[in-house]
Amino acid sequence: MNARARAHVWLSGRVQGVGFRFATADEARYRGLAGWVRNLDSGRVEAVFEGPRSRVEEMLRWAREGPPGSYVRDVRVDWDEPPEQLQSFEIRHTGLD
């Protein structure tokens, strides 16, 4: 059984100004994941991926590389329990960190 999982992720490197949020949203939707992505004032990107654990892990592998033009230097992942049961994937406004 592929249990539902939720990964809260922070990515640093060249992850802003390269279409990272839009590519992340496209990839997450393609995988049928719910969650969100946003830029942070610090220059990092924050995201939440929620869905079947195997698909969340696929998304994390993609995020470690990012879209063309990006360079992901560091990835921090917190596995949150329980999942919030989000229904869609959205791009959020820039937040503080």
- Considering only the C-alpha atoms of the chain, give the largest distance between any 2 of them, rounded to a whole number of Å: 39
DSSP 8-state secondary structure symbol assigned to residue 49: E
DSSP classification of residue 45: E
Q: Which member of 21, 38, 44, 55 is catalytic? A: 21
Position 1 confidence tier, pLDDT thresholds 50, 70, 90? low
* Residue-level pLDDT at 58: 98
Q: In sequence order, which residues have a C-beta less than 8 Å from that of residue 28 and are 6 or more positions away?
A: 34, 35, 37, 47, 49, 59, 89
Alpha-carbon torsion (29, 31, 35, 38), positive or negative: negative
Q: Does the domain at residues 4-90 carry the CATH identifier 3.30.70.100? A: yes
Does the active-site annotation cover 39? yes
Query: Which two three-digit tokens encode residue 56?
Result: 């969340």
Report the pLDDT value the prediction gives residue 81, as an integer from 0 to 100: 80
Average pLDDT, integer, range 16-35? 97
Is a pLDDT exceeding 70 seen at residue 28? Answer: yes
4 is catalytic: no
Give this prediction's pTM: 0.92
